[in-house]
Amino acid sequence: MSGLNPQQREAIHYLDGPLLVLAGAGSGKTRVITQKIAYLVQDCGFQPRNIAAITFTNKAAKEMQERIGKILSPAQAGELQISTFHSLGVRILREEAKALGYKPRFSIFDSADCAGILSEAAGTVDKATVRILQSLISNWKNALVTPEAARHLATDEHQKLAAHAYLSYEATLKAYQAVDFDDLIGLPVKLFSEHPEIADKWQNRLRYLLVDEYQDTNACQYQLLKLLTGVRGQFTAVGDDDQAIYGWRGADIDNLRKLPAEFPNLKVIKLEQNYRSTVRILKAANNVIANNEKLFDKKLWSEHGHGEQISVTTYRDNDAEAEGVVMKLQAHRFEQRTQFKDYAILYRSNHQARIFEEYLRDHRIPYLLSGGKSFFDKAEIKDIIAYLRLLANEDDDPAYIRAATTPKRGIGAATLQVLGTYAGERHVSLFAAAFEEGFAHRVAPRQLEPLLEFGQFINRMQERAGRESANLVLPDLLKAIDYETYLYDHEEERVAQTRWANVCEFANWINKKGELDGKTLIELTQSIALINMLDKQNDEEVDAVQLSTLHASKGLEYPHVFLVGIEEGILPHRESTEPSKVEEERRLMYVGITRAQRTLHISFCERRKQAREFIPCEPSRFIDEMGRDDVRFAGGKEAKPVDKATGSARLDALKAMLAGNKG
């Protein structure tokens, strides 16, 4: 435990009751969690299987697993439960499904599946409306609001429509033996509340809980933690009220406020030493966040020296900003002999990325865009996953429809309509209905035959998928459905090639995962829905500039950061004008500032192009809040215009140097 500061050491050793660690940005919280797990196992006699560490992202769970793997033996590390809230929820539900009226092989529906069900329940095909309804129902679920209660709470038109659809939506999910993402937390809460004996069993199994990013928990997650820790209160919650930026998706900073009241013997330890940034960067961050009402008072400090001044640059418009930032980045990289991956361009909203992408491409600068379309959202991957879902749960109706019709096998819409009506009358799944005698009398033999063939094929594959490893079953499945031929028959050659390459990449990944984890295809399928992105090991190794939203950048750090578009209406966002929302936007600015290790460049525009006209812009109030002592201002009306010839000559010289450097 060498190299730990006194506060970190105290947080690791404290076991006399519930503990809240207020960990400021860059204060080494992951190290505290991993070292505490090691302390519990090596010094306190805890069995690794009785410890659970809960994170918010797969990436954070993976990082924690890797770190603890370097301290504990492989056998010990393998027994720990390090997972996201949702993965833990799945584990509980698979084991206790029966108590809630589910089969252990229930399906986890993604957002697109749920949108289809909701569209039907609400009687609307308008995608924007369905998205609003999804968001409302999700927020209700996260706040533990039942369909009945939602009807009383609904005030405006959208809320009333959502409340009306909520009950039918839930019933349909249950009929499909399926759950949505919110249920993965909500149903374990229901389970533990209604079955104290099951709650007791899990409390005895998970005897110590460590929760990362506690400030991001919603009401439902908070309840789950309370039910898991029980009266013992054996937990360490690590969080930072200054980085609570997910209120829009149901996270409730009140969970931090409630802890001391609900656990009177709660110990609070502050980690204020920052190991990431220079003094100037921290001072600016502290100055900004000081304008928020504080739950817990803390001030970050650093031994990393003063560092460079923060630059704030005013640009004429968004084109000039993108060009200026890319030129500045390129020049800085050349002068300092750094790598592209040392730089991040951070912004408030996804749409701001496009113009920076253009200029980076023009200058042949490699970049990675976070928050792009997930690999799992590609149509060809969803096609294959539909088959896998059906193997895992034959009552999964959306998967049945997709798999039965892709590739085409003589099952038309009219046949599926008759099947759907019959299945509805009998209260059985489409898969089961196809085999019933009653259905056979409703369709012609030529309609029935392909359905029975398809069902029998799934049954044969099911039997193999439950006992054989994934690398044996999946290639046979792809061969049997002849998916490659289907792609080449329906797409231009180049598109077909790309899509088939994606399917092969997915199959290789499944096979590799099956080998590593020793899991069957069925077992792997049950976890696919929880994976947001393909586990590509090489993302960190790619030498590329990182483009990211401020929300997606939380938990990350970069030597050199460009915060762009820091204007009123963007940050703070024009829809966040009420005081509590401005406070969350300010925390977002704080997160942005504290991603920087050595240099920080902030920029805004005097005017911004929207459609075909220019809209005047004002710098964000957060720039003034940083203070002026450590800030260097440039550009705008006060700046001297650069002589065009001089500017061009400088640029040419820089490009020549860069070209020479490559050689």
Backbone CA torsion sign across 457, 463, 464, 470: positive
Residue 160 structure tokens: 């009333």
Q: Using alpha carbons, select from 184, 147, 172, 609 the residue that is nearest to residue 354.
A: 609
* Environment class of 127 (CB within 10 Å of its CB; exposed 0-12, middle 13-18, buried 19+): exposed
Cβ–Cβ under 8 Å, residues 564 and 603 = yes
Instruction: Return the exposure string of 360-388: e unless at least 16 CB atoms fall within 10 Å of the residue's CB, then b.
Output: beeeebebbbbeeeebbebebbbbbbbbb
* Environment class of 544 (CB within 10 Å of its CB; exposed 0-12, middle 13-18, buried 19+): middle
CA 306 to each of CA 121, 189, 329, 330: distance values in angstroms, whole numbers, following the listed order: 59, 48, 22, 24
Instruction: Scan for tokens 């865009």, then name that residue.
Output: 369
Nearby residues of 559 by Cβ (< 8 Å), 6 or more positions away: 338, 342, 343, 596, 597, 598, 599
Backbone CA torsion sign across 105, 106, 108, 112: positive
Backbone CA torsion sign across 234, 238, 242, 243: negative
Cβ–Cβ under 8 Å, residues 281 and 593 = yes
Q: Which residues pair with 469 in a beta bridge?
A: 520
Instruction: Return the exposure string of 518-535: e unless at least 16 CB atoms fall within 10 Å of the residue's CB, then b.
Output: ebbbbbbbbebbbbeeee
Residue 648's region, left for phi above 0, alpha for psi from -120 to 50, else beta, is: alpha
Give residue 78's Cα distance to chain centre: 24
Cβ–Cβ under 8 Å, residues 655 and 334 = no
Cβ–Cβ under 8 Å, residues 549 and 370 = yes
Q: Kindly list the catalytic residues.
A: 29-30, 212-213, 243, 595
CA distance 104 to 93: 7
DSSP labels, 97-129: GGGGT--TT-EE--HHHHHHHHHHHHT---HHH
What does residue 47 show for φ and ψ, rounded to 5 degrees?
A: -80, 135
Nearby residues of 288 by Cβ (< 8 Å), 6 or more positions away: 586, 589, 590, 593, 622, 625, 626
The vertex-268 CA angle with 184 and 231, nearest 5°, equals: 50
Enter the DSSP assignment of 587.
Answer: H
